[in-house]
Amino acid sequence: MSVRKLKPITPGQRFKIVNGFDALTSDSPEKSLLAPIKKSGGRNSRGKMTMRYKGGGHKRRYRVIDFKRDKQDVAAEVKSIQYDPNRSAFIALVEYTDGEKRYVIAQNGMQVGQKIRSGAGSAPEIGNAMPLAEVPLGTIISCIELRPGQGAVMARSAGTFAQLMAREGKYATIKLPSGETRMILANCLATIGAVSNSDHQLLVSGKAGRSRWLGRRPRTRPVAMNPVDHPMGGGEGRASGGHPRSRNGVPAKGYRTRSRTKDSNRYIVERRKK
């Protein structure tokens, strides 16, 4: 994977850094795994805007991703590595020996023609999904379930990974991308390897229009608002805005909002760093 810095022939290209896409092998999606996406523009069912700064954007079609990896003990061959407009990671089109095709999140180092498996008894190799009880300690993993059978919910975005630190009883201890260390049931599935497209964090859009293509509208600074619109609004001249806080008055920097009585607190061994 690589990134490209363009020779600027327009102002929008002056600081633009784009993905090299050299890991991709196909640009035509599998039609049987596409679904429509209806845009809401941040409006609810009554037409009221409940989420600001959303709207527009390029038309997309959803790629149906197999997060559960529930077709177990059946080998699948990686047919292609593809771009997905709905996520930062690349996806892999795999075909099982019985002819069924599915999309899975691609891991770093996944190659076309590679065989992958899921389920108990799988080898700890890149792209294989297996229970945490069978993963060797210290292994880099991604696409982790939080509850057995739920499907992958953690470490799914580009370049992210977790590490299996320990096992004790029916729980495995995982160090997550956020820095948090927590316990997860050892019969939850995880995929071996880090998520693909690790250079995603190096990209620079270069111009405001590329944010509009992604469906992001311009965001008004709270300091520029009136007091009726935001706690940081108002004041004479260029007032600083006071303490940073959200529209509802919740402090924004360093303030812990997690409930002290949340049931899952007992599974957290070490909180993420500030």
Q: Give me the tens of pLDDT residue by residue for the chain, a chain 274 residues long.
A: 689 999 999 999 999 999 999 999 998 999 999 999 999 999 999 999 999 999 999 999 999 999 999 999 999 999 999 999 999 999 999 999 999 999 999 999 999 999 999 999 999 999 999 999 999 999 999 999 999 999 999 999 999 999 999 999 999 999 999 999 999 999 999 999 999 999 999 999 999 999 999 999 999 999 999 999 999 999 999 898 899 999 999 999 989 999 999 999 999 999 987 6
Distance (Å, whole) CA 225 – CA 241 = 10
Distance (Å, whole) CA 133 – CA 218 = 47
Instruction: Tell me phi and psi for residue 133, to 5 degrees.
Output: -65, -20
Residue 106, amino acid: A
Q: How distant, in Å, are the alpha carbons of 49, 72, 249, 262 from that of 231?
A: 20, 53, 6, 28
Q: What are the extents of the domains in the chain?
A: 3-201, 224-265
* Pairing verdict, β 76-82 and 61-63: unpaired
SS3 assignment, position 195:
strand
- The pTM score is 0.92
Q: What share of the chain is helix, strand, coil (3-state, %, to 5)?
A: 10, 30, 60
Pick among 2.40.40.20, 2.40.50.140, 2.160.20.80, 3.90.550.10: CATH of 3-201? 2.40.50.140
User: Is 102:34 a contact under the CB 8 Å cutoff?
Assistant: no
Looking at domain 224-265, its CATH superfamily turns out to be Ribosomal protein L2, domain 3 (4.10.950.10)
Give me the sign of the Cα torsion angle 259, 261, 267, 268: positive
